[in-house]
Structure 1
Amino acid sequence: MSRIAAVATALPEHTYSQQAITDMLAPMVATNPGRQALLRRMHASSKVRTRHLVLPLEEYRDALTFGQTNDRFVAEATRLAEAAAREALARAGLGADAVDLIVFTSVTGISAPSVDALLVPRLGMRKDVKRMPMFGLGCVAGASGIARVHDYLEGHPDGVALLVSVELCSLTVQKDDDSMDNLVASGLFGDGAAAVVMVGAARADRDGITGPDVVASRSRLYPDSGDVIGFRPSETGFRVILTAGVVEVIDANFPADAASFLADQGLGLHDVGTWIAHPGGPKVLEAFQRGLALPAGALDRSWASMAAVGNLSSSSVLHVLADELRAAHHPEERALLFALGPGVSAEFVLLRWPEPVEALAAA
C-alpha cells in the first residue's frame, strides 16, 4: 500500500460572492432577457456562495483569444501549482529533491513543456525526476491521480510522489453563449489548485509518516456517454459540455459499482466510515447520496467545499480530502474517495487509517 503523507490547497486571491459574479456575467453571457433571468435562477440554485477567480472580475469583460487566455493559464497555473506543492511538501516534512515522480493534471489549459516541467526548477526537484502530465480526465482526475500514483508506489515502495492539480475554470467561460451548458457552468465552477504527497509503504514505515493508506482503486468507463460531460475546443477556448445525463449515469451505475468494488475488498457500504465525494454540483451530490443510501450529513464536507469555492474540477475532491484530513479518524477507519469525469468515467479509491506507530511497535 501507499500512504498519503500530506495534502495542501491553493486558491487565487480574488474572491467574490456568487451574486457579484452573476451580476457581471449575466449581460456578457446572455443578451436575451429571458435567458438572463434563467442564468440568475440557475446561479442562485447552485448552492455556491463564493468563488475564487484567477483574474479580477472586471477583466473577464475583455475579449481575449484562446491564445491569450491560455497564456494567462500557464502563468497563473504555474504560480498556484508551486504554492500548493510547496505547502504539501512542507507538511509532509520532505524536500522537493526527495520526489521521484510528479504527476500534473488540468483540463482548463494546455502547455508544452507542461506545468510539471516548469515546476521542477522552481521547486528544486532532481533533474532525474519522472514526470507524468495528464490531460482530458476533467473532474475525475483528482481521484484518478491518487490511484495512478498509488499504482506507481506499489512498485516503488521506497518512493515519494507528488500529485498536482490546477484548474482555472473561469478562463473557459464563454461570452455570448447562452447555451444551457454555459449557463450552468458559469454559476458552478471556480479556480483553485491542490497538491498531494504520497509515499511507498516502506518509506512510510521507515520514516514514521502518518496519514491514510491507499488500499485499492478501481476505474470505470461507461459506454455511450461521451457527450454527457466534456469540452469542445473552439476559437475562443474550451466550450463546456455539461448535461443532465450525468445524473442518469450515476443512478444507473454508481451504486452497483461502488458496492462491487468494496465487496472485492471484503467490505460492504456499511464498513465505510467516511465518504469523500467530488462536489460536482447539487444534483450530482444528491445522486451520490441517494444511490449509496448514505445517512444525513455523510457528504457535508463536499457540500461545504462547493459552497465555499465552487466546483474546482479535478482539484475539488482533493480540497475535500484536505478538509477531511484535518479531522480526527480512528485506526482502521475506512474512507471511499470518488469522482466522475468525461467519458463518462468514474474512479473509486479506498483509504484506511493505519494503526499508530507506537501501537504497531508494542505489538
Structure 2
Amino acid sequence: MARIVNVAKELPPFSRDTQAILPYVQHWLADQEERFRRKVLKIFEGAGVDCRYGIMDIDEVFTATSFEEKNAIYVREMKRLGKNVLKKALENQGWSADSLDYIITVSCTGIMIPSLDAYLVNDLGLRQDVVRLPVTEMGCAAGVSGLIYAANFLRGASGKRAAVVAVESPTATFQLQDFSMANMVSAAIFGDGAACVLLSSEENIEGPAIIGEEMYHFYEATHMMGFDLTNTGLKMILDPAVPEVIAAHFEAIVHPFLKKHGTSIEKVDHLIFHPGGRKIVQTVDELFGKLGKSIEETREVLRAYGNMSSVTVLYVLERFMEKQLKRGEQGLILSFGPGFSAQRVLLEW
C-alpha cells in the first residue's frame, strides 16, 4: 500500500500583495476603455487572493519580452525551485536522494527538454537506475495526477520510495498584449510555487494511506481549459462555464468513486480540494457546505498564494499533513484540469 509520508513547499523570491499590484494593472490597461479597466480591477480585488509569489519581480512581469526570454527564466527558476523543494522534503523525512526508486516531475507553464527530473538526478545524486516520469500538459490537475502515478508504481512493488515534484510559474505565461477576459482572470488568480510529496510502500511507515485513486474525463470539453502556443508564449484558455460544468458533474465525479472504495461523502472527514479560483471554491462550498464539510484550508491557500496550477492542491495537502489527525479519518483530494478532467485520491490516516 502506498502512503504519503511528507509534503514540503518552496516559494519563489518575489512576492506582492494584491493591493500593491493594482497600480501596475492600471498602468498596463491605461489605453483600454474606462469601463473595461474598472471591471478588471474589480476582478483582481474580488479574486480571493491577497498575496502571490513569482519567479520575476513585478517590473519584469510587466515588461514586453520574447517567449524565449521568459522561458529561459522559467527553466532557470524551475531547476532551482525543484532542487530546493526535493532536498527539503528528503531532509524532513531523513531520506537520502539515492534511496528514491521513482521521481515524477510535474509542470505545464514552460518548456524544458530534458525535463526537470533529469537535472535533479545530477544535482542531488539520484541513482542511475531511478525511474523518471515527467508529467506535462495536464495543468492544474497534474499534481494529483502525479500522486496517482506514484501510487500505481508503489502498489506494484513493496519497499519502494517515490517523490512527486511539482513546479509551476503561471507568471511566465502572462501575455502583455492579450486583453482577453481569460488573460485578465488568470492574471488575477495565479501565482508561482513548488511542492514535493514523498510516498512509500515500505512496511511500518507513518502517513495516510492511498485507499483509491481515479481520473474522470469529461467528453467534448477539450476547449474549456488549456494554453494556445503563440509566438509570444503560452496563451491562456479559460472558459467561464467551468464552475457550472464542474457543478453539473459533481455527483458523478464524487459519489461512485467513494462508493467503490466502501465509503461516502458523509464519512469523508476532510476535503483537500484544488482552489482553482474564487468561483470554483464557492461552487464546491455550496455543494458540500450543507453536509457540514469545510473547505477552509482550500480557501486559505488561495488567499495566501493564489492558484499555482498543479502545485496548489499540494499546499492544501501539506496543511492536513501538519494536523494531528486521528487514525481512520479519511480525506478526499480533488483537482480539475485541461481535458477537461477531474483527478481523485482517497486517503485514510
Please classify the TM superposition score into its range, dividing by the shorter chain length.
over 0.9
Secondary structure, aligned partner of 1:67: helix
The corresponding residue for 1:14 is 14
What does residue 330 of structure 2 align with? 334
- 1:66 is matched with 67
Task: Report the counterpart of residue 253 of structure 2 in structure 1.
Answer: 257
- 1: CA distance between counterparts of 2:253 and 2:15? 38
Assess, with a 3 A threshold, how the Cα gap between structure 1 residues 66 and 333 changes in structure 2: closer, same or farther. same
Structure 2 residue 197 is the aligned partner of structure 1 residue 183: no
Tell me, yes or no, if the aligned pair for 1:212 and 1:351 is still in contact at 8 Å. Answer: yes
Partner in structure 2 of residue 151 of structure 1: 152
User: Do the aligned residues in 2 keep the contact of 1:3 with 1:212 (CA within 8 Å)?
Assistant: yes
| Pairing 1:334-353 to 2, within 5 Å after superposition | 334-353=330-349
Measured against aligned partners, the alpha-carbon deviations of 1:87-116 in whole angstroms (never above 9, x if no partner) come to 111122211000111001111011111111
Helix, strand or coil: the match of 2:37? helix
Q: Which residue number in structure 2 is paired with residue 279 of structure 1? A: 275
Letter matched to residue 115 of structure 2: S
Q: Is the 8 A contact 1:6 1:88 kept in 2?
A: yes
Matched, 1:237 2:233: yes
Question: Does structure 1 residue 139 correspond to structure 2 residue 135?
Answer: no
Structure 1 residues 97 and 243: CA distance shift in structure 2, 3 A: same
Aligned to 1:266: 262
| Residue in 2 that maps onto 1:227 | 223
What letter is aligned with 1:232? Answer: D
Quote the residue 2:4 is aligned against: 4
- Once the two structures are overlaid, the 10-residue window that deviates more, 289-298 or 304-313, is 289-298
Partner of 1:359: none
Partner of residue 129, structure 1: 130
Given that 1:9 and 1:84 are in contact with CA atoms closer than 8 Å, whether structure 2 keeps it comes out as yes
Preserved contact between residue 271 and residue 293 of structure 2 (Cα < 8 Å): no
Residue of 289, 292, 303 corresponding to 2:299 = 303
Q: What are the ranges of 5 or more consecutive residues in structure 2 without an aligned counterpart? A: none
The secondary structure found in structure 1 opposite 2:335 is strand
Distance change in 2, residues 1:297/1:307 (3 Å): farther
Q: State the distance in 1 between where 2:30 and 2:214 align.
A: 41
State the alpha-carbon separation in 2 of the partners of residues 118 and 232 from structure 1: 27
Q: 1:14 to 1:296 in 2, by over 3 A?
A: farther
Instruction: Please tell me the residue identity of whatever aligns with 2:9.
Output: T
Structure 1 letter corresponding to 2:328: E
Deviation at residue 255 of structure 1 after TM alignment = 2.3
Query: Does the CA contact (< 8 Å) of 2:4 and 2:200 recur in 1?
Result: yes
Counterpart of 1:164? 165
- Counterpart position of 2:104: 103
Unaligned runs of 5+ in 1: 354-363
How big is the alpha-carbon RMSD for the aligned residues of Structure 1 and Structure 2?
Answer: 1.3
Matched letter for residue 243 of structure 2: V
Residue by residue over 1:152-178, the C-alpha shift from the partner in whole angstroms, topping out at 9 and shown as x without a partner, is: 100111111110000101111111221
Q: Separation in 2 of the partners of 1:140 and 1:323? A: 19
- Cα offset, 1:30, TM superposition: 6.3
Q: How far off its partner does 1:61 sit?
A: 2.8
Matched, 1:215 2:211: yes
- Shift in Å, 1:248: 1.9
User: What does the per-residue CA deviation read over 1:162-211, in whole Å, with 9 as the maximum and x for residues that have no partner?
Assistant: 100001011111112211101100110000000011011xx1x2xx4211
TM-score by structure 1 length? 0.93
Classify the secondary structure of the residue corresponding to 2:199.
Answer: strand
Q: What CA distance in whole angstroms lies between the structure 2 residues aligned with 1:88 and 1:303? A: 24
